[in-house]
Structure 1
Amino acid sequence: MTAAPSYEVRAVDGIPEVRPGDDLAKLITAAAPDLRDGDVLLVTSKIVSKAEGRIVRADSREAAIDAETVRVVARRGPLRIVENRQGLVMAAAGVDASNTAPGTVLLLPEDPDASAAAIRTGVRDTLSVDVGVVVTDTFGRPWRNGLTDVAIGSAGVRVLDDLRGAADAHGNPLSATVVATADELAAAGDLVKGKAAGLPVAVVRGLAHVLGEGASARDLVRAPADDMFRLGTSEAVREAVTQRRTVRAFTAEPVDPGAVRRAVAAAVTAPAPHHTTPWRFVLLESEASRVRLLDAMRDAWIADLRSDGKSEESIAMRVRRGDVLRAAPYLVVPCLVTDGAHHYGHARRDAAEREMFVVAMGAGVQNLLVALAGERLGSAWVSSTMFCRDVVREVLDLPSDWDPMGTVAVGHPAAAPPERPGRSPEDFVEVR
């Protein structure tokens, strides 16, 4: 009968206080001369940072966090989750003010994979054994309470075990199973190292099959395109609003009608006067309906321009501006309905009443555009239907009290829009 798999993990005792310039491989091998081929060393990043001189003077930890931050992921009060210079997403950029002299902080190793490789080479040179090395640090995790150690650097270890394409015990294919082996090793080591026991290194024995070449801890960091939770809640809201861009060129990829309906659901949460719901959205999902509307609008526009005395060349140039709508695989016509408006019989007050509804319509359209961006769809709001409302109502068979408020072109962006120049809020505010 085959023995059940097992392994052992133990802390390494006897490692002294580490100082800048110390050779970690020599310190570890002196404390653990019985290391064998196939063992895995789990080394706390704190001692790696100390040995590599990653101790810096800092008037405040916050200033050091600022210097190590590449991107803020989420902020809640003083707590910041950020992407740091090593590409790791973690609290406080990995800057540590514990177990270091007052007025100083510890930064993470500059290249944790290179640090792991140097320790591995040093152990091989000293003891003539081939071990794996994982540099660990303590992380919180999305969706889960508590902290655990994870791998931030690795050498000689298969950090990911890709089981996709294999089958489970029942013969079912595994389609999404990729095991974070290096993180599992790091967490196992933390059980014996502890957070305050002064035992910065652990050894795992009995798992020689996890050793392998060519992998690094960077392989554990999810690529931005695959990261569904790249931002915190408030950051995602701000990004959705500020990164919504007008897109005028689309691919031929069809638009998911369900995505548009989800955007409409967001649109109708906009504020509106008198507890009304003044928004209606006409979805032009067939090419025939889009062509019929755009042809009728074009003819009406040409007639208006000719009555203005514009030249045929000028008319042709202006009409071409509508090409963005013809190129879009999906159109939405937002319509304003004011059946809940109050009527005062007074010109100024009635004008203000309508303006309230128009503002609510604008808020609904903005919600729609932002939500479409959240669905990774590009959009462009074009005002042309507002200039020929009777034509639009007739072609689309709309009620007479529906006022078309432009057209939204929707599709998958053909290219990323250019960067938008920054604008200071101070240019747009007056404080009283």
Structure 2
Amino acid sequence: MSAERTSYRVWAVPGLPEVREGDDLAKLIVGAEPALADGDVLLVTSKIVSKAEGRIIAADSREAAIDAETVRVVARRGPLRIVENRQGLIMAAAGVDASNTPAGTVLLLPRDPDASARVIRDGVRDALGVEVGVVVTDTFGRPWRSGLTDVAIGAAGVRVLDDLRGGTDAYGNPLSATIVATADELAAAGDLVKGKAEGLPVAVVRGLPHVVHGDAEDAGARALVRGAADDMFRLGTSEAVREAVTQRRTVRDFTDEPVDGGAVRRAVAAAVTAPAPHHTTPWRFVLLESESARLRLLDAMRDAWIADLRADGKSEESIAKRVRRGDVLRRAPYLVVPCLVMDGAHDYGHARRDAAEREMFVVAMGAGVQNFLVALAGERLGSAWVSSTMFCREVVREVLELPEGWDPMGAVAVGRAAAAPAERAGRDAEGFLLVR
């Protein structure tokens, strides 16, 4: 280990006055700590940044302020909400704080914490001629861990992430996934001396000059926020199941990326938890994992469909247009054919009751397919349910060598979406309700 990493010093800055809107934080900090040096890191509590930037607002209800700052609810338990806020941070109550602020007001986070950090860094440079790093900190809880800690929500002049991938450990083993959240480690170190109630909102770390750098490398603390595509827990708790349902979209264009068969099997495991009549299990899912199997089925279905349309007197132009609609299945790297089986169905010997019995099984099949589609969305897989196999069941059974009692109930195209789906038009639930 190099000498520059073996030790450091951290201390809180005493003597800062109460911060008010319009105050120059850099000037206040330099006045309280005039001996700042090149390579120091300032750890600045977000509360005083928000106060200086006038982020105190009148609010009769903290909940209304949280609503206004929330982009997406991630989880909810009673009055507690974990949300994604306007800054892209996942945190409790969107960072809206009703402590250390006058009654009837709440404190919002800085609009752009990285920009706030840059202003402080530049102000210190202008006043003292030294290059420091600045980290704007806030207090977070963490999934699977009790207790709170400070993390970085804004940064300037600081290497926020230390990417060790491509290096080796002490035993020569390659490091392939190690990226250290340096800015968060600095924030936590500062919190040890600032405390939560001591009125010491700024700390200094000295002795780690390797974490301070110039503007050319400045990514800011936003680089610490994991993107949606890499977030394995974006649809985490039971509350987020609702979001999985609402975020599911029909995907019609896919990339060539292979589909993980294990992910599809996990989605099937979710599908077969759907309700069904008489303690039956009426779902079967045929997985078409090979291209040859997919093409063999789709070619046979296309031929049967064209024959039916010609028998109905459709024009060749009309037939071509209808066939093109089914091309979504050809564009997918993976197909699933859900099938209904009526094992366990009651035979009443009465046309009306027997028809109702089948409807119960069909509803159970629909519930299973919906579970399947939502679970695929949770696996970050796009899907499109297409009804086509229902119109040529005999052909599907023959090509896939299925038992006579298996009724194909459409097909599901599965793959990685080639582009982000279009936003769905909002639907007001009240328009679908009839209350008696």
Match of 1:203 in 2: 204
AA aligned opposite 2:81: R
3-state DSSP class of the match of 2:160? Answer: coil
Residue pairs, 1:61-210, within 5 angstroms: 61-210=62-211
CA contact 1:158–1:213 (8 Å) conserved in 2: no
Give the structure 2 partner of residue 290 of structure 1: 294
1:333 to 319, 337, 352: 337
The answer as to 2:387 corresponding to 1:383 is yes
In 2, the alpha carbon distance for the partners of 1:293 and 1:243 equals: 30
TM-aligned CA distance change 1:97 to 1:271, over 3 Å: same
Q: 1:147 to 1:388 in 2, by over 3 A?
A: same
Shift of 1:410: 2.5
Deviations 1:145-165 (A, max 9, x none): 111111222222222222222
Partner of 1:266: 270
Deviation at 1:271, TM superposition (A): 0.9
Larger radius of gyration, structure 1 or 2?
Answer: 1
The superposition leaves residues 196-221 of structure 1 with CA deviations (integer Å, 9 ceiling, x where unpaired) of 11111222222222211232222222
Show structure 2 runs of 5+ residues with no match. none
Q: Which residue of 1 aligns with 2:250?
A: 246
1 CA distance for matches of 2:327 and 2:37? 70
Aligned match of 2:346:
342
User: What does residue 53 of structure 2 align with?
Assistant: 52
- Give the 3 Å change call, closer, same or farther, for CA 193–342 of structure 1 in structure 2: same
> Match of 1:16, as an amino acid?
P
Alpha-carbon distance between aligned partners in 1 of 2:118 and 2:363, rounded to the nearest angstrom: 61
Measured after TM superposition, the shift of residue 340 of structure 1 is 0.5
Q: How far apart are residue 366 of structure 1 and its match?
A: 1.6
Deviation at 1:231, TM superposition (A): 4.1
Task: Give 1:28 shift.
Answer: 2.3
> 8 Å contact 1:153–1:217 — kept in the other structure?
yes
Matched AA of 2:93: A
Write the distance in 2 (CA, Å) between the matches of 1:232 and 1:263.
15
Q: From the superposition, tell whether residues 232 and 16 of structure 1 become closer, same or farther in structure 2 (CA, over 3 Å).
A: same
Could you tell me which residue of structure 1 aligns to residue 14 of structure 2? 13
Secondary structure of the structure 2 residue equivalent to 1:153: strand
Query: In 1, Cα distance between the equivalents of 2:132 and 2:307?
Result: 81
Q: For residues 395-406 of structure 1, what are the structure 2 equivalents within 5 Å?
A: 395-406=399-410
Give 3-state SS (helix, strand or coil) of 2:71's partner: strand
Kindly indicate whether the alpha-carbon contact (under 8 Å) linking 1:120 and 1:132 is maintained by their aligned counterparts in 2: yes
**How far did residue 359 of structure 1 move?**
0.9
> Post-superposition shift, 1:311?
4.1
2: CA distance, partners of 1:255 / 1:203: 49
Aligned to 1:393: 397
Residue 74 of structure 1 contacts residue 231 of structure 1 at CA under 8 Å; is this kept in 2?
A: no
Q: What is the CA deviation profile of residues 290-329 of structure 1, one whole-angstrom value per residue up to 9, with x for unaligned ones? A: 3333333333334433443444444444344333333333
Change (3 A) 1:217 1:276: same
Q: Which residue identity is paired with 2:203?
A: A
Give the length in aligned residue pairs.
Answer: 432
Q: Which amino acid aligns with 1:348?
A: R
AA at the equivalent of 2:80: L
TM-score, normalization: structure 2?
A: 0.91
Higher mean C-alpha deviation, range 416-425 or range 249-258 = 249-258
Compute the displacement of 1:188 (Å): 0.9
Which range is displaced more, 247-256 or 415-424?
247-256
Residue among 219, 225, 242 paired with 1:221: 225
SS of 1:338 mapped into structure 2: coil
Distance 2:235 2:373 in 1: 19
Which TM-score applies when normalising by structure 1? 0.92
Counterpart amino acid of residue 101 in structure 2: T
Residue pair 1:332, 1:407 contacting (<8 A) in 2 also: yes
Distance 1:290 1:187, change over 3 A: closer
User: Distance between the aligned counterparts of 1:298 and 1:130, measured in 2?
Assistant: 69
Q: Distance in 1 between matches of 2:241 and 2:261?
A: 23
> How do 1:405-416 and structure 2 match up within 5 A?
405-416=409-420
Distance of 1:293 and 1:124 partners within structure 2: 69
Q: CA RMSD in A?
A: 2.4
Query: Using the alignment, how far apart are the partners of 1:389 and 1:207 within structure 2?
Result: 70
By how many angstroms is 1:226 displaced? 2.1
Q: Which moved more, 1:353-362 or 1:395-404?
A: 395-404
Q: Is the 8 A contact 2:72 2:84 kept in 1?
A: yes
Cα distance change, pair 311–74 in 1 and its aligned pair in 2 (3 A): same
Alignment of 1:7-46 (within 5 A): 7-46=8-47
1:133 partner SS? strand
Among 279, 286, 290, the alignment partner of 2:283 is 279
Change (3 A) 1:140 1:348: same
From the superposition, tell whether residues 347 and 132 of structure 1 become closer, same or farther in structure 2 (CA, over 3 Å): same
In the TM superposition, what are the counterparts of 1:303-314 in structure 2 within 5 Å?
Answer: 303-314=307-318
Bigger Cα displacement from structure 2, 95-104 vs 244-253 = 244-253
2:248 maps to a residue whose letter is R
Is the 8 Å Cα contact of residues 257 and 416 (structure 2) preserved in structure 1?
A: yes
